[in-house]
Structure 1
Amino acid sequence: MADQPVLRAYVSLGSNCESATAMLDAARSALAALPDMRMGAVSPVYRTEPQEYADQPWFHNQVVELLPGESWQPCSLVDALLDIEAMLGRVRSADPALRYGPRVIDADLLVFGQLRSTDPHCLVPHPRLTGRAFALRPLLDVAPRLEVDGVPVSQWLERLDCRVDGDRIFQ
């Protein structure tokens, strides 16, 4: 009997609050505590320029590889991520201008194995992944051979107008 391939999901974590490092630690701990879930590789933390809404502190971002058991599906993982955000104090602003504004924690499902989802609640792969250096650079650290829509993550990153300087990402 052949071994089943290991399902791998990738989650982007971000925070730009005063205790951003502690928030990333807390989010990783909450992910590791999910039932039927194992933690895989974890990228370094990158400090990144804010996107869309520039008048805010820089973000701390990283990507976590998860190894979900058979009970998990993309939408159930998105629900768990939203629960973790709420547990850690994330409050979503009703103001559309602040959609990309400051946040204590952000947890986005980037990729869930080879599965695709067009469910508006859990679009997979993440619809803005290929345009975000703050997600692609750490994703490359944990999954250097990963392809998104048939294109290697490294090539998506090369297509962007961005610069990585040590642990800082400018875009």
Structure 2
Amino acid sequence: MGSNQGDPEASIEEALQRLEHYGNDLVFDAQSPLYKTEPQGKKDQPWFTNCVVRFKVGSDIWAPAGLLSTLQAVEGKMGREREPGNEGGPRNIDLDLLLFGDVQMQDEYLTLPHPRMLERAFVLVPLRDIAPGFVFADGKTIDQALAALSYTLEGRNISQK
């Protein structure tokens, strides 16, 4: 979850509440602390507030594409507009699906695990908070993935080159 427009912390809280009330087959399980993170790509914008959240889902009800569609519906209800050419730009809310259990897939709609998560300290640091022993499908631990990145962590601020 991330935001850098308006009140980012309130936007993240609103998105979390919307998801928690989506149905009893989508159950909140854990949330990392909030981090202030330097924008990647387009640097001329406010820093983001980011966190990683884990939900337990009814696997017989939810499929990865359905969960992504739900995340995008919540973004839309919160006023997020996806503008071509604004990838990486400012937004009031951004909800990405990073993982769905051990599912690995790639199609035009969804790639799992998220294709850029191993490049992003603002994803890996909070993921480590809620899953410190996480191991990727290739056997790499989350600490090994972080060690491969050039980033700084000062308190709850993450900057990355």
Which interval holds the TM-score relative to the shorter structure? over 0.9
* Matched AA of 2:79: G
- 2:38 maps to 1:49: yes
2:112 match: secondary structure: coil
2:54 to 45, 65, 70: 65
How big is the shift at 1:24? Answer: 0.3
Q: Report whether the alignment pairs 1:167 with 2:161.
A: no
Equivalent residue for 2:78, pick from 88, 94, 114: 88
Amino acid at match of 2:121: A
SS at 1:38's partner residue? Answer: strand
Identical aligned pairs, as a percentage?
A: 40
Three-state SS of the structure 2 residue aligned to 1:101 is coil
Q: Secondary structure at the match of 1:51?
A: coil
**SS across alignment from 1:25:** helix
Q: How does 1:148-163 map to 2 (within 5 A)?
A: 148-149=136-137, 150-163=139-152
2:69 aligns to what?
A: 79
2:15: which partner in 1?
27
Amino acid across the alignment from 1:121: Y
| TM-score when normalising by structure 2 | 0.95
> For 1:100 and 1:155, how far apart are their aligned partners in 2?
26
Dislocated runs of 4+, deviation >4 Å: none
CA offsets, 1:128-162, max 9 Å, x none? 00000001000000011112232111211111000
Greater share of strand residues, 1 or 2? 1
Gaps of 5+ in 2: none
Counterpart in the other structure of 1:6: none
Amino acid at match of 1:131: E
Length-normalised TM-score, structure 1: 0.89
Aligned residues between the structures: 157
- Is 1:123 the counterpart of 2:111? The answer is yes
Question: In structure 1, what is the Cα distance between the partners aligned to 2:91 and 2:66?
Answer: 23
State which drifts further: 38-47 or 147-156.
Answer: 147-156
The answer as to whether partners of 1:74 and 1:117 remain within 8 angstroms in 2 is: no
For residues 100-155 of structure 1, the C-alpha deviation after alignment (integer angstroms, 9 at most, x for no partner) is 10000000000110111112211110000000000100000001111223211121
